[in-house]
Amino acid sequence: MKILVSGGTGYIGSHTCVELLNKGYDVVAFDNLYNSKIDVVDRVEKITGKKLIFYKADMLDKESMRPIFEEHKFDAVIHFAALKAVGESVQKPLAYYKNNISGSLNLCELMNEYGCKRIIFSSSATVYGAPKTVPITEDFPLSTTNPYGSTKLMLERIFSDFCVPDPEWSVVLLRYFNPIGAHESGLLGESPNGIPNNLMPYIAQVAAGKLECLGVFGNDYDTPDGTGVRDYIHVVDLAKGHVNAVEKVTSSTGVNIYNLGTGIGYSVLDIVKAFEAANGIKIPYVIKPRRAGDIAICYANPGKAKRELGWEAKYDLERMCKDSWNFTKKSLGLE
Ligand code: NAD
Ligand code: WQD
C-alpha cells in the first residue's frame, strides 16, 4: 500500500513516516519546508533503513503537487501540513485560513482528480473549546476560540461533507491532545523557531540553559494544584495511531472520528517535577498571570480509539520527558 503524507518532514509527520515505513508501507511525503528541514528525510531513512520518497511542494501551489499524483497512485493521504501556532493565528488570520483551508482544498481537488478518496486528517482537541466536563468523548460539543482552531473545525466539516454525495469517500478525523517527546534515537523531534509557545519545548530550553526560567501561566485554576491540566501524549504513540487509522480508512467509508490521547491529565507543575526527576535537572519557574485563551483542564477519553482502532498510548510521562530532553540536547549539540 502506498501512502501520501503531507507535512511529512514536520514533527508528527516525520514520526508517522517512520512508523509507516517500519510496518512495510510505501511512503511518499511532501512539505514546503516552511516549518521543517530537508535533513529530516535522511534521518527517517537512517532510522528505518528504508526509502522515503520526498517532494518539495506547496499546498498553495496546486501544480507543484501535481507531479506527486502523476508519478504515484495512493491508497490514502495522511494530511498533516498546516500552520499551527495558536497566537500567531490570531495576529495573521488570513494567512491561516488561506494556508490551511485553501491549501487543503487544492490537495483534495487533486485527490478527487486522481481517484484517491481516503484521507486521515490531523485535527486537534482545540475543537472542543472549553469542555464543560472531562474526560472528553468525541460527541462533545464543538467550538473554537482562535483562527487556528477554526481552520481545524472547518476542515473537519469540509472533509465530512465529501462523504455525503459520494459513498466512496473515507474520512478519519484524528483529534490529537498534547503531543510531546521525540524519537528515541534523538534524530527526530520538535525544534520550534524562536521562543517556544508550548510547555515541553520551553522546559527543555530552560534545561539547556537557553532560557532562564519557566513562566507558569496561572496557579488559580480549579485543578488540584491550580495550574492547567492537559493530556500529554508521546509523539511515537501518536504516530502509531496513524498506522491503525490507515487500516481503518482503507477498510471503511464515511466519517470516523477519534481522540488520540492517553486519558490522563497532568498539571504544569506535574510536568516540571516529572522532567526534573527523569533528567536530574532543576527547572526554575515563576508563577505568571493566566495566558489569554487557556482553559483549565482538558483530557481525552481515548476509549473509542481503543475499541475501534485497537490503539492505545503506551509511553509514560517519564519516557516523554527523557525523550524530549535527549532530542533537545542532541539538536543543540550539548552532547
Ligand atoms: P509541524 O509544523 O512540525 O508540521 C507541519 C508541516 O507542514 C511543516 O513541516 C510545514 O513546513 C508544513 N506545511 C505548512 N504549510 C504547508 C504548505 N502550504 N504546503 C506544504 N507544507 C506545508 O507541525 P506538527 O506539530 O507536526 O503538526 C502536524 C499537524 O498536526 C498540523 O496539522 C497541526 O495543526 C496538527 N496538530 C498538532 C498539534 C501539536 O501540538 N503539535 C496538536 C494537534 C494538532
Ligand atoms: C500546556 C499548559 C499552559 C507554556 C496547544 C494548542 C492546541 C494544540 C496543542 C494544536 C497550559 C501551560 C505553557 C509556558 C505554561 N495544538 N504553559 N508556560 O495550550 O494545551 O495546547 O498545543 O492543535 O491547539 O493550543 O499547550 O503546551 O502551550 O500549554 O505554564 O511557557 O502549559 O498554560 O496549561 P496547549 P501548551
Structure confidence by residue, pLDDT tens digits, 237-285:
999 999 999 999 999 999 999 999 999 999 999 999 999 999 999 999 9
Sorted by sequence, the CB contacts under 8 Å of residue 215 that are 6+ apart come out as 285, 286, 287, 288
Q: Indicate the residue among 241, 260, 279 that finishes a domain.
A: 260
Ligand 2: nearest atom to the Cα of 267: 34
Are 238 and 325 in a shared domain?
A: no
Looking at the structure, do residues 162 and 296 belong to the same domain, yes or no?
A: no
Pocket of ligand 1 contains residue 95 by CB under 6 Å: no
For 297, phi then psi, to 5°, come to: -150, 135
Does 43 share its domain with 131? yes
Closest of 325, 305, 119, 312 to residue 203, by C-alpha: 325
Active site residue 148: yes
Q: Is the CB of 196 under 6 A from ligand 1?
A: no
130, 218: one domain:
no
Q: Which of 178, 231, 267 to mutate to test the pocket of ligand 2 (most atoms within 8 A of CB)?
A: 178
Q: Which three cell numbers stand for residue 1?
A: 500500500
Q: How far apart are CA 16 and CA 10, in angstroms?
A: 10
SS3 label, residue 3? strand
- The conformation of residue 34, written as its DSSP 8-state character, comes to S
The strand pair at 214-217 and 178-180 is best described as unpaired
Q: What is the pLDDT of residues 43-96, one digit of tens each?
A: 999 999 999 999 999 999 999 999 999 999 999 999 999 999 999 999 999 999
pLDDT for the residue numbered 185: 98
Amino acid at 77: V
Distance from Cα 290 to the centre of ligand 1, integer Å: 26
Q: How would you write 263-318 as a 3-class SS string?
A: CCCEEHHHHHHHHHHHHCCCCCEEEECCCCCCCCECCECCHHHHHHHCCCCCCCHH
pLDDT tens for residues 175-208?
999 999 999 999 999 988 899 999 999 999 999 9
Q: The domain spanning residue 188 has which CATH number? A: 3.90.25.10
CA of 175 to the centre of ligand 2 (A): 15
Boundary residue ending a domain (242, 260, 278): 260
- Examine the domain organization and report whether 176 and 284 are in the same domain: no
The CATH number of residue 137's host domain is 3.40.50.720
CB proximity list for 136: less than 8 A, separation 6 or greater: 125, 128, 259, 298, 299, 300, 301
- Nearest-atom number in ligand 1 for the CA of 125 is 43
Q: Do 192 and 140 fall into the same domain?
A: no
248 shares a domain with 211? no
Nearest CA-CA partner of 136 in 258, 14, 311 = 258
The 10s digit of each residue's pLDDT in 106-142 is: 999 999 999 999 999 999 999 999 999 999 999 999 9
Residues 10, 33: Cα–Cα separation, whole Å:
8
Domain hosting 271: range is: 183-230+263-332
- ipTM of the assembly? 0.99
3-state SS assignment for residue 145: coil
Count of the separate structural domains present in the chain: 2
CA neighbours within 13 Å on the CB side: how many for 108? Answer: 21
136, amino acid identity: I
Reported pTM: 0.99
What pLDDT does 199 receive?
A: 98
For residues 252 and 271, state if they share a domain.
no
Residue 100 confidence (pLDDT) above 90: yes
Determine whether 143 is exposed, middle or buried from the number of CB atoms within 10 Å of its CB (0-12, 13-18, 19+).
middle
Please give the Cα distance from 214 to 204 (Å, whole number): 10
Residue 256 host element (H or E): strand 254-260
Closest ligand 2 atom to 288 CA: 30
Answer yes or no: do 45 and 137 share one domain: yes
Asked if 146 and 256 sit in the same domain, the reply is: yes
pLDDT at 191: 86
Q: How confident is the model at residue 12 (pLDDT cuts 50, 70, 90)?
A: very high
Options 25, 148, 266, 299, the catalytic residue: 148
DSSP string, 170-212: EEEEEEE-EEE---TTSSS----SSS--SHHHHHHHHHTTSSS
For position 335, what pLDDT does the model report?
80
Average pLDDT, the chain: 98
Report the pLDDT value the prediction gives residue 193, as an integer from 0 to 100: 84
pLDDT of 211-235, one tens digit each?
A: 999 999 999 999 999 999 999 999 9
